[in-house]
């Protein structure tokens, strides 16, 4: 069995903490700084994919891989949404909006579309899980990835308002959004093969372009450098800023590997359910200060996930569930 890389769990925990931070309405500057969070999570997915050197010798291998992704990503969301809507149905006064009164929003959430928000990120991870291995077969080195990026930026530039608004919306959600975040996945998949010079140049160029964007927006346009405005779909400065940050993070990865922080390891290995539980607490907790909201929501989400894992493991042992089924249950409830 391959030993788990604890440094990746710690790095992933940083990404999750920043994602949750974005949802408690922090000050503008802090909100902009954390804009590397989702790209970092996608990058790590690609990094793990590349490190495993995973190959699919048949359609069966690929469908088995997709089934595991489905169990890990989609099924937990469906279970959580069912719990969420049941709680809303029986305790409607605890929520500002009772979404059980809006079936279209409920259905949209289960389909990982707009819904009431927050589940779009799961759609991105699912699309990346499907497209990543396929594109990695074609885009195998940094130059091919650079060409892909250039073509992608042109597609983003010229595909705006290409269709009717309703069609354009879904073209963006399932097309350009996924193709944009795919850049981070493929970069992660290749990253282990880059030499020190390439990694250094990647950081320097990305950082310089990001700083150039800051200067351009602030001093030429006279407006704040809103990196997040370039997120839907991801392009230009949003991509370079994210690349510069996780290039820096992975530069100190050996140091991170030496850290012994069990709480960060737990967060990094339980990202799906901590993220899902935080959605519920976002609706239930509304403290005066954003940082108190963040701490309270994060703490309750971690506790809920920990108790859930304990309950699942006790149930598996109590009912003597066979190893194969137990593994699938843990994939669904303990990731």
pLDDT of residue 174: 84
Q: How confident is the model at residue 270, as a pLDDT?
A: 96
Q: Which residues of the chain have pLDDT under 70?
A: 1-3, 53-54
Distance in angstroms (rounded) separating the CA atoms of residues 71 and 54? 19
What's the residue count for the chain? Answer: 335
Residue partners of 40: CB distance under 8 A and separation at least 6:
11, 12, 14, 15, 18, 184, 242, 245, 246, 249
**31 Cβ contact list (under 8 Å, min separation 6):** 22, 25, 228
Q: Check: CB of residue 208 under 8 Å from CB of residue 237.
A: no
Q: Tokens 């996924």 correspond to what residue?
A: 178
Whole-angstrom Cα distance, residue 72 to residue 328? 9
Task: Determine the 3-state secondary structure of 114 from DSSP.
Answer: coil
Question: Torsions phi, psi of 257, nearest 5?
Answer: -60, -30
Q: For tokens 């269709």, what's the residue? A: 163
Separation CA 220–CA 38 (nearest Å)? 29
**Please, which residues have CB within 8 angstroms of residue 185's CB and are 6 or more apart in sequence?**
42, 43, 45, 46, 49, 128, 131, 132, 135, 136
pLDDT at 1: 46
Could you read off the pLDDT of 173-220 as tens digits, one per residue?
Answer: 889 999 999 999 999 999 999 999 999 999 999 999 999 999 999 898
pLDDT the model gives residue 56 = 78
Tokens of 183: 């850049």
Tell me how many degrees the CA angle 201-205-210 measures, rounded to the nearest 5: 150
Q: How far apart are CA 20 and CA 309, in angstroms?
A: 21
Interatomic CA distance for residues 46 and 40, integer angstroms:
10
């Amino acid at each position: 069995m391959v030993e788990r890389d604890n440094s990746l769990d710690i790095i992933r925990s940083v990404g999750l903490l920043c994602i949750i931070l974005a949802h408690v309405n922090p000050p503008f500057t802090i909100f902009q700084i954390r804009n590397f969070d989702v790209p970092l999570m996608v990058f790590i997915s690609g990094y793990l994919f590349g490190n495993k050197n995973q190959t699919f010798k048949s359609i069966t291998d690929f469908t088995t891989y997709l089934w595991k992704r489905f169990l890990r990503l989609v099924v937990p969301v469906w279970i959580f949404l069912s719990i969420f809507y049941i709680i809303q149905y029986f305790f409607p006064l605890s929520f500002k909006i009772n979404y059980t009164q809006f079936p279209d929003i409920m259905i949209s959430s289960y389909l990982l579309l707009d819904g009431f928000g927050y589940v779009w990120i799961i759609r991105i991870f699912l699309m990346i899980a499907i497209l990543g291995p396929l594109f990695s077969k074609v885009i195998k080195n940094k130059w091919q990835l650079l060409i892909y990026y250039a073509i992608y930026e042109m597609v983003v530039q010229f595909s705006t308002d290409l269709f009717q608004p309703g069609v354009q919306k879904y073209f963006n959600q399932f097309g350009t959004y996924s193709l944009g975040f795919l850049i981070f996945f493929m970069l992660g998949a290749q990253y282990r093969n880059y030499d020190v010079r390439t990694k250094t140049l990647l950081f320097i160029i990305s950082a310089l372009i990001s700083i150039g964007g800051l200067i351009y927006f602030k001093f030429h346009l006279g407006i704040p450098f809103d990196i997040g405005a370039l997120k839907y779909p991801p392009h230009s400065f949003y991509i370079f800023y994210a690349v510069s940050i996780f290039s820096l993070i992975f530069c100190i990865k050996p140091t991170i590997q030496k850290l012994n922080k069990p709480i960060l390891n737990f967060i990094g290995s339980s990202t799906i359910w901590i993220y899902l539980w935080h959605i519920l607490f976002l609706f239930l907790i509304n403290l005066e200060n954003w940082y108190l909201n963040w701490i309270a929501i994060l703490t309750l989400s971690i506790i809920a996930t920990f108790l859930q894992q304990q309950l699942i493991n006790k149930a598996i042992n109590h009912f003597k569930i066979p190893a194969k089924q137990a593994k699938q249950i843990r994939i669904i409830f303990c990731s």
